[in-house]
């Protein structure tokens, strides 16, 4: 049965749509289990019913017509309990509901298992038998395993249909929604542009082409180029290859013939699909066909096809004549959005972001927040490759994406956008007012930056300093390491714009989910690997040129502070200080009038928490990176949407650590700031102020919101709230308690509602 299982799953994977997938399932399962009936019922939420979508054994005429209300019949029982039902005599069961049009009265025994995807019951897979006999344990296990394996395929196929505006049973529908996690607050209504990294056939979106002839010509040129590559390669290797290996090249060349792969691709282009999309589809079909073959030799040929098509893709992409067009209301969609992809879109056109991978604490989401772009992350079920050009609504507050929006839904969201705009306008009056509580406790609000545009926005919002300049952002947007001179120019802009206010520059923090395209770091466990200070200490040439650029840029301004990321022991600090001092000495020797900048460490890993006091003795200030600290304390990958609900900076363990850090650093009279996202969460900011943090550093877009909330409370009320939450043992209780306190203080709903961190 194991072989059957694998084969069925593979065959279903090759199906072109939901109906064919279901037809394969019912016929193959009936044969494999040697029963008389196999059927699939799927839940159609638009009509609140389970619909018989495919069957082998029941009357064909009933397929697509038979419906059971939710909870009705044995199918309803399986779905509502999310458990198998195995009956020797189905008719004797009180839930049995006779469906005359199916002809099922002949069948006595019944085994139904739920089809569950991400905790949601999508439908029920049923087998029936004429004889009165219960299905044995092995059969039950087979059906459960199969249903678990198929659920993803069914969910994906359903979602694809939903994008076209139909529910599983073919009802017209609108407002198809997909769940993700909140990335950056706000709502955007616009049109999708699907972006993808180069050279990956699996990620090419479907896109209509406007000039079919040009696209065909373009494809033929790419084919010709590969043909040439292949024959060159074959002749260069002629003497070194065995005859059967040389034969492979001949096979490759034949595949490229106009009658083979090429013909199919051209046909698809003629139907209006662009060359890259047509090639990707043809490749997928052939690869899958080969992968399901029984003969292991032929199965392995799937890899050859993939390789060949990737070569064609390379030439197509290298000579791409069709530049991506960004509409005025672009919603950028991708499997894994990167900073560089964001940077490609003209600023005024970029309204929203949707990333299938990543979560609210991924760096791309943080970048989106600094830019104030509504974002949904981790929309894992989104068939994003089919979204190009479609209208979407991104709800960045709740981490939702809607396609096919109805007028009603669109209008509702337009209201939300208006409400948010009004709130922002209302807050502008606070720009020149101090950030102080009703009983005059003053709080320093600084900003996190990465791009020059953040600086402008920050000054417009009345920021009093930069608490974190993520220097890796310009590195991520560059095609190679920026030279010392180039870096100096970038840093100078930030320092000059803020002078005399302090600017805290963090040394290069790459690794984890931040990979430089020109310096790839491939690791099994990147968040526990070569990250931040570990990389720069291993590459002193990169480190010293960066700090030299920083210090040089500060000449005559004197407002630079340098901060070290991912510190986990004191040696990393002393080693870094030595390098910074060397850079300073060198520049002085060159005759520059610079001053030695204050140096700080980031507390981001649990080990550093417990060494706060020792670390404080070595440096001038401490800054807490609560994003990483939360992920490392809770062992929850900040980038993984599957565990996003476990990631909370309000977890009592995180709160204890945050309080301990301030106490310890203050014992050494060192100022403490926090630059993780928690500082920009109004509720989080209140708690951190009460703990005694000296500086809260956040995205410019949240600065006025935090100021409004701090100005509406007293410091003593904040301290009372802190004492209350410190006795709690659950993150959600802490959240609710803060929300209630802000509500009682009359804080606006939109100011209270924030990401779930
Ligand atoms: C943090 O970890 O809280 C932090 C500010 O650094 P980053 O988010 O860039 O890792
Ligand atoms: Mg960090």
227-268 pLDDT, tens per residue?
A: 888 777 777 666 666 676 667 677 777 777 766 788 889 999
Is 191 a catalytic site residue? no
CA of 625 to the centre of ligand 1 (A): 5
Tell me: do 112 and 236 sit in the same domain. Answer: no
| For residue 319, pLDDT beyond 80 | no
In a domain, 110, yes or no: yes
Tell me: do 340 and 281 sit in the same domain. Answer: no
Tell me: do 531 and 552 sit in the same domain. Answer: yes
> Could you tell me the two tokens for 558?
């004197």
Condensed to tens digits (0 to 9), the pLDDT of residues 718-749 reads 999 999 999 999 999 999 999 999 999 888 77
468 Cβ closer than 6 Å to some ligand 1 atom: yes
Is 675 a catalytic site residue? yes
In this structure, which residue's CA is closest to atom 8 in ligand 1? 627
CA of 677 to the centre of ligand 1 (A): 8
β pairing state of 67-69 and 49-56 = antiparallel
| For residue 757, pLDDT beyond 60 | no
Q: Contact at 8 Å (CB) between 1 and 138?
A: yes
β pairing state of 400-403 and 391-395 = antiparallel
Q: What is the DSSP letter of 375?
A: E
567-590 mean pLDDT: 98
| For residue 755, pLDDT beyond 50 | no
Condensed to tens digits (0 to 9), the pLDDT of residues 186-238 reads 999 999 999 988 778 888 888 888 889 988 988 888 888 888 887 777 776 66
349-359 mean pLDDT: 95
Q: In degrees to the nearest 10, what's the CA dihedral of 683, 687, 690, 696?
A: -80
- For residue 698, the domain's CATH number is 3.20.20.60
Q: Tell me the residue range of the domain where 234 lies.
A: 201-319
DSSP-assigned beta bridge partners for residue 609: none
Q: Of 291-295, 455-459, 484-488, 549-553, where does mean pLDDT reach its minimum?
A: 291-295
Tell me: do 95 and 119 sit in the same domain. Answer: yes
Tell me: do 98 and 47 sit in the same domain. Answer: yes
Size of the chain, expressed as the number of residues it contains = 757
Tell me: do 55 and 189 sit in the same domain. Answer: no
- When pLDDT is cut at 50, 70 and 90, the band that residue 329 belongs to is very high
> In terms of Cα–Cα distance, which of 256, 262, 205 is closest to 231?
256
> Could you tell me the two tokens for 497?
């714009």
DSSP-assigned beta bridge partners for residue 331: 192, 352
Tell me: do 12 and 68 sit in the same domain. Answer: yes
- For residue 238, the domain's CATH number is 1.10.274.10
Tell me: do 368 and 289 sit in the same domain. Answer: no
CA of 628 to the centre of ligand 1 (A): 6
Burial level of 59, CB count in 10 A (0-12/13-18/19+)?
middle
What are the backbone angles phi and psi of residue 599, rounded to the nearest 5°?
Answer: -115, 140
Ligand 1 mutation pick, 447, 627, 702, max ligand atoms within 8 A of CB? 627
What is the Cα–Cα distance from 475 to 364, expressed in whole angstroms? 14
470 Cβ closer than 6 Å to some ligand 1 atom: yes
DSSP-assigned beta bridge partners for residue 401: 178, 394
- For residue 29, the domain's CATH number is 3.30.450.40
676 Cβ closer than 6 Å to some ligand 1 atom: yes
| Atom of ligand 1 minimally distant from the CA of 468 | 5
CA atoms in the 13 A half-sphere facing the CB of 235 = 5
Instruction: Using the structure block, give the residue that is written with the tokens 């609900």.
Output: 645
| Atom of ligand 1 minimally distant from the CA of 676 | 3
Ligand 1 mutation pick, 450, 511, 602, max ligand atoms within 8 A of CB? 602
Active-site residue identified among 38, 209, 435, 675: 675
> Could you tell me the two tokens for 31?
């044969």
- Which of the pair, 612 or 297, is modelled with greater confidence? 612
Q: Of 5-9, 257-261, 567-571, 730-734, where does mean pLDDT reach its minimum?
A: 257-261
511's enclosing H/E stretch is none
What is the Cα–Cα distance from 409 to 187, expressed in whole angstroms? 12
pLDDT for residue 361: 87
In a domain, 526, yes or no: yes
- Which of the pair, 320 or 121, is modelled with greater confidence? 121
pLDDT for residue 508: 97
| For residue 61, pLDDT beyond 80 | yes
β pairing state of 181-184 and 176-179 = unpaired
DSSP string, 253-317: HHHTSTTTHHHHHHHHHHTTB-HHHHHHHHHHHHHHHHHT-SSHHHHHHHHHHHHHHHHHHHHHH
Tell me: do 67 and 148 sit in the same domain. Answer: yes
Condensed to tens digits (0 to 9), the pLDDT of residues 298-311 reads 777 777 788 888 88
**Residue 509 neighbours by CB distance under 10 Å:** 26
Q: Contact at 8 Å (CB) between 665 and 619?
A: no
Number of domain units in the chain: 4
In sign, the C-alpha dihedral spanning 625, 630, 631, 634 is positive
Condensed to tens digits (0 to 9), the pLDDT of residues 588-620 reads 999 999 999 999 999 999 999 999 999 999 999
Condensed to tens digits (0 to 9), the pLDDT of residues 409-445 reads 999 999 999 999 999 899 999 999 999 999 999 999 9
Domain's final residue, options 267, 285, 319: 319
CA of 675 to the centre of ligand 2 (A): 9
> In terms of Cα–Cα distance, which of 20, 68, 59, 72 is closest to 41?
68
What is the Cα–Cα distance from 85 to 75, expressed in whole angstroms? 9
What is the Cα–Cα distance from 398 to 185, expressed in whole angstroms? 8
454 Cβ closer than 6 Å to some ligand 1 atom: no
What is the Cα–Cα distance from 698 to 695, expressed in whole angstroms? 10
Strand, coil or helix: 189: strand
**Residue 297 neighbours by CB distance under 10 Å:** 7
Domain's final residue, options 270, 288, 319: 319
Q: Contact at 8 Å (CB) between 535 and 568?
A: no
- For residue 347, the domain's CATH number is 3.50.30.10
604 Cβ closer than 6 Å to some ligand 1 atom: yes
Active-site residue identified among 129, 315, 363, 651: 363
In a domain, 516, yes or no: yes
| For residue 321, pLDDT beyond 70 | no
Tell me: do 244 and 333 sit in the same domain. Answer: no
Domain's final residue, options 286, 304, 319: 319
What are the backbone angles phi and psi of residue 316, rounded to the nearest 5°?
Answer: -60, -45
| Atom of ligand 1 minimally distant from the CA of 472 | 9
CA atoms in the 13 A half-sphere facing the CB of 117 = 19
Tell me: do 226 and 303 sit in the same domain. Answer: yes
In this structure, which residue's CA is closest to atom 3 in ligand 1? 625
In a domain, 657, yes or no: no
| For residue 181, pLDDT beyond 60 | yes
Tell me: do 285 and 400 sit in the same domain. Answer: no
510 Cβ closer than 6 Å to some ligand 1 atom: no
In this structure, which residue's CA is closest to atom 6 in ligand 1? 625
In a domain, 431, yes or no: no
In a domain, 638, yes or no: no
625 Cβ closer than 6 Å to some ligand 1 atom: yes
pLDDT for residue 560: 98
> Could you tell me the two tokens for 701?
């877009």
In a domain, 656, yes or no: no
In a domain, 437, yes or no: no
- How far, CA to CA in Å, does 12 sit from each of 7, 143, 146? 9, 15, 11
- When pLDDT is cut at 50, 70 and 90, the band that residue 753 belongs to is low
CA atoms in the 13 A half-sphere facing the CB of 154 = 30
**CB contact set of 456 (below 8 Å; sequence gap of 6+):** 497
């Amino acid at each position: 049965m194991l072989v059957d299982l694998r084969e069925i799953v593979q065959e279903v994977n090759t199906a072109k749509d939901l109906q064919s997938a279901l037809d394969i399932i019912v016929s193959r399962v009936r044969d494999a289990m040697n029963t008389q009936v196999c059927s699939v019922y799927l839940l159609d939420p638009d009509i609140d019913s389970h619909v018989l979508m495919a069957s082998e054994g029941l009357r064909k005429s009933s397929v697509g017509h038979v419906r059971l209300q939710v909870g009705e019949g044995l199918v309803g029982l399986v779905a509502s309990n999310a458990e198998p039902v195995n009956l020797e005599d189905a008719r004797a069961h009180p839930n049995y509901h006779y469906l005359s049009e199916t002809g099922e009265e002949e069948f006595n025994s019944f085994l139904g298992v739920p089809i569950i995807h991400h905790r949601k019951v999508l439908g029920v897979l049923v087998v029936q038998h004429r004889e009165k006999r219960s299905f044995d344990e092995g059969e039950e296990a087979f059906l459960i395993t199969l249903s678990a394996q198929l659920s993803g395929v069914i969910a994906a196929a359903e979602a694809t249909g939903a994008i076209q505006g139909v529910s599983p049973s073919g009802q017209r529908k609108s407002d198809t929604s997909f769940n993700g996690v909140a990335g950056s607050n706000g709502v955007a209504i616009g049109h999708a542009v699907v972006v993808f990294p180069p050279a990956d056939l699996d990620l090419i979106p479907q896109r209509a082409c406007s000039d079919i002839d040009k696209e065909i010509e373009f494809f033929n040129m790419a084919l010709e180029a590969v043909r040439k590559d292949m024959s060159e390669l074959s002749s260069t290797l002629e003497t070194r290859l065995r005859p059967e290996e040389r034969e492979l090249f001949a096979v490759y060349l034949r595949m490229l013939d106009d009658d083979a792969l090429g013909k199919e691709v051209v046909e698809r282009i003629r139907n209006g699909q662009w060359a890259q999309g047509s090639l990707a589809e043809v490749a997928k079909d052939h690869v899958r066909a080969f992968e399901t073959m029984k003969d292991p030799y032929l199965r392995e040929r799937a890899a050859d096809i993939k390789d060949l098509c990737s070569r064609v893709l390379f030439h197509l992409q290298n000579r791409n004549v069709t530049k991506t067009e960004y509409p005025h209301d672009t919603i950028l969609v991708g499997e894994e959005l990167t900073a560089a992809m964001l940077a490609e879109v003209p600023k005024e056109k970029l309204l929203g972001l949707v990333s299938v991978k990543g979560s609210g604490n991924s760096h791309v989401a943080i970048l989106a927040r600094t830019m104030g772009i509504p974002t949904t992350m981790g929309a894992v079920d989104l068939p994003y490759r089919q979204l190009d050009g479609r209208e979407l609504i991104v709800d960045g507050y709740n981490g939702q994406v809607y396609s096919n929006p109805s007028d009603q839904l669109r209008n509702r969201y337009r209201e939300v956008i208006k409400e948010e705009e009004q709130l922002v306008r209302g807050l502008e009056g606070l720009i020149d007012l101090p950030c102080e509580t009703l009983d005059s406790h003053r709080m320093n609000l600084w900003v996190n930056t990465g791009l020059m545009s953040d600086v402008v926005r920050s000054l417009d919002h009345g920021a009093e300093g930069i608490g974190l300049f993520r220097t890796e952002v310009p590195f991520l947007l560059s095609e190679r390491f920026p030279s010392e001179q180039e870096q100096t120019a970038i840093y100078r802009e930030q320092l000059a714009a803020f002078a005399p206010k302090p600017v805290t520059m963090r040394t290069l923090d790459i690794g984890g989910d931040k990979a430089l395209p020109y310096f790839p770091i491939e690791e099994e466990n990147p968040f526990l690997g070569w990250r931040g200070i570990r990389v720069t200490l291993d590459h002193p040439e990169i480190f010293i040129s960066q700090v030299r650029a920083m210090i040089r840029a500060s000449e005559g301004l004197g407002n630079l502070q340098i901060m070290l990321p991912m510190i986990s022991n004191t040696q990393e600090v002393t080693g870094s200080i030595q390098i910074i001092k060397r850079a300073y000495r060198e520049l002085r020797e060159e005759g520059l009038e610079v001053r030695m900048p204050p140096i700080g460490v980031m507390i981001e890993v649990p080990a550093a928490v417990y060494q706060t006091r020792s670390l404080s003795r070595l440096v001038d200030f401490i800054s807490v990176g609560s994003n990483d600290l939360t992920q490392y304390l809770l062992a929850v990958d900040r980038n993984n949407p599957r565990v996003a609900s476990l990631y909370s900076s309000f977890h009592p363990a995180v709160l204890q650590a945050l309080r301990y850090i301030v106490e310890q650093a203050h014992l050494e009279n060192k100022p403490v700031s926090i630059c993780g996202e928690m500082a920009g969460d109004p509720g989080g900011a209140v708690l951190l102020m009460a703990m005694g943090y000296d500086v809260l550093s956040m995205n410019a877009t949240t600065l006025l919101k935090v100021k409004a909330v701090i100005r509406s409370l007293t410091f003593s009320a904040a301290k009372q709230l802190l004492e209350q939450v410190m006795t709690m043992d659950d993150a959600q209780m802490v959240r609710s308690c803060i929300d209630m306190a802000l509500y009682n203080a009359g804080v606006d709903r939109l100011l209270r509602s924030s990401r779930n961190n």
